[in-house]
Structure 1
Amino acid sequence: MASGLSEFLQVGYQAAMQTADNSSLSGPSDHWEWQYLSLMRRIWEQGDERIDRTGIGTRSIFGAQLRFDLAGGAMPLLSTKRVYWKTATREFLWFLTGDTNIRKLCAQGVEIWTDWPLDRYRKETGDEISRADFSRRIVDDADFAARWGDLGPVYGKQWVDWPVYEPAGEGLFRQRAAGVNQVADLVTSLRTNPGSRRHIVEGWNVAELDRMALPPCHKTYQFHVSAGNRLSCVMYQRSCDVALGLPFNLWGAALFTRMLAQQCDMEPGELVWMGGDTHLYLNHAELVEAQLARAPSGNPVLAIRRRPDSIFDYGLEDFEVTGYAPQAHISAPVAV
């Protein structure tokens, strides 16, 4: 184990590894979530210890895969800890608007992105404002939100308004008023040319990475239509926080696939998740210990209550999850 972990956590970790053997826990042996738990265990046991951007340190492997069948409304919601799927859905619908300011998220009580603007505000002003007060001010003060709440051209901006530049004469270029809406183009291509190998939504805009609060982690989505008109998705994630980020990322990719399938008169197929630098933070030892001591159970199902006119018109009220009875939430700090 890493030298930075206490002896107590080392002992707890070893106990968790023994308990996490599938044969020693009750629960269906073919439950998809064993893939997730096995990945977590592999990283914690075999991953390389690395010094990362945050300074916290990780245990990491490179190259991982999870597969999940979306047939029958099934969704990859973890049962070994509670995943707040409504929060994840609000975030994903926000991406589809192309908005890059956290104000609308904060107004809904979604604080997923608050820590990055907050960190910048504290560093630039010296004001050690609390997270709650910062978020409240973002919601209440439009000018403050405009100054401090913007994340730069992150996910949604690239998805629905990828910038395009045109010659303006004399060797100059100007930005076109409307960029490329990759999501709208994807819907069109799925409907008109389902056999294409170009059903892709990309977030990694090299020219704009330096302006982003955080470059895209779940960076590439590719879709495939197979026999039976089944729509599957491969999502590639260049950097993956397995404990905190991956449960939300799996939900978002599955939700995207389900929405596209409905809009394109297809059946949901398979979600294939692929990870590049796939890691656990060293300060997540207690979460790892607790989660690996649990066994998965249940089969949550998502129902989409209506079919909006476009993929951009869904609201939270359009989604209903049944059969989800997770074990208790496990908290852990977010690395900024």
Structure 2
Amino acid sequence: VKIWQANGSRGFLDSRGLNSHEEHDLGPIYGFQWRHFGADYKDMHTDYTGEGVDQLAEVVRQIKADPTDRRIILTAWNPAALSRMALPPCHMMAQFLVDTSTSPHELTCIMFQRSADMGLGVPFNIASYALLTRMMAQVCGIAAGELVHVLGNAHVYSSHIGPLQEQLARVPRPFPILKVNPAVKTIDDFVSGDFELIGYHPHEKIAMQLAV
């Protein structure tokens, strides 16, 4: 995945005042906040094992221990660390809710996205959070329910208007089926080979430039 290359360039980091960051060091962004919230970020090479709050592990624990808890939250928005991030989080918070009235129980993810690039970002975010919900449900021993995607500021960049008009003129094709290796029982054990898309027949790629 190379979606962050432009935001990690030397020029972009310098424009954010991150002159001390090595090129491609994005700072304490999404993954760092999910797994080490509150830890002191040094650089992208440091081993942060055991530092900060592992929110992802805590979410798994909460879903298993108290599925009706209304505080099962995963957040990437850390005001104390925003100035050190290459880009503040766009998809910034998710709440996980378990419907215990069904058998098996179903996991729903409600994700709030403050800034929504409808051409490039939102489709990627839908796919990634839907996959995350499926993964979390599996390791918690329940079924995946819904992904509810809430957009704060939804926008289309002027350079994306033409490509999106072309996309809208296309006839949608059937959704593929996602197959996940059922043997994986812990969130850290997933590898790329554990996922398979069956019946995925996309249209040809439409090029869109990332707005930086």
TM beyond 0.5: yes
2:34 pairs with 1:159: yes
Q: 1:123 to 1:147 in 2, by over 3 A?
A: closer
Structure with the higher fraction of residues in helix conformation = 1
> CA 1:122–1:218 in 2, change beyond 3 Å: closer, same or farther?
closer
List aligned pairs for 1:48-67, cutoff 5 A. none
CA displacement, residues 128-163 of structure 1 (integer Å, 9 cap, x when unaligned): xxxxxxxxxxxxxxxxxx822210100000001001
Please give the alpha-carbon distance, in whole angstroms, between the structure 2 residues aligned to 1:294 and 1:121.
35
C-alpha distance in structure 1 between counterparts of 2:22 and 2:112, whole Å: 32
Counterpart for residue 112 of structure 2: 236
Alpha-carbon distance change, 164 to 112 in structure 1, aligned in 2, over 3 angstroms: closer
After the TM superposition, which parts of structure 1 deviate over 4 Å for at least 4 consecutive aligned residues?
Answer: 121-124
- Equivalent residues in 2 for 1:289-328, closer than 5 Å: 289-328=165-204
Counterpart CA distance in 2 for 1:158 and 1:321 is 29
User: Where does structure 2 lack aligned partners over 5 or more consecutive residues?
Assistant: 16-20, 41-49
Paired position in structure 2 for 1:114: 5
CA distance in 2, matches of 1:243, 1:198: 32
The residue number in structure 2 matching 1:264 is 140
* Equivalence for 2:71: 198
Identity %: 42
Could you list the per-position Cα deviations for residues 187-240 of structure 1 after superposition, in whole angstroms to 9, with x for gaps in the alignment? 000000000001110010001101000110110111111121010111100001
Determine the C-alpha separation between the residues in 2 that align with 1:266 and 1:203. Answer: 25
Question: Structure 1 residue 306: deviation in Å?
Answer: 3.8
CA contact (8 A) 1:263 1:307 kept: no
TM-score when normalising by structure 2: 0.87
Alpha-carbon deviation of 1:308? 2.7
Contact 1:234–1:274 (8 Å) recurs in 2: yes
Find 1:219's aligned residue among 77, 92, 104: 92
Rg bigger for which structure?
A: 1
Partner-residue secondary structure (3-state), 1:215: coil
- In the alignment, the residues of structure 2 paired with residue 263 and residue 307 of structure 1 have an alpha-carbon distance, to the nearest angstrom, of 10
Q: Distance in 2 between matches of 1:300 and 1:316?
A: 17
Contact 1:218/1:236 (8 A) holds in 2 = yes
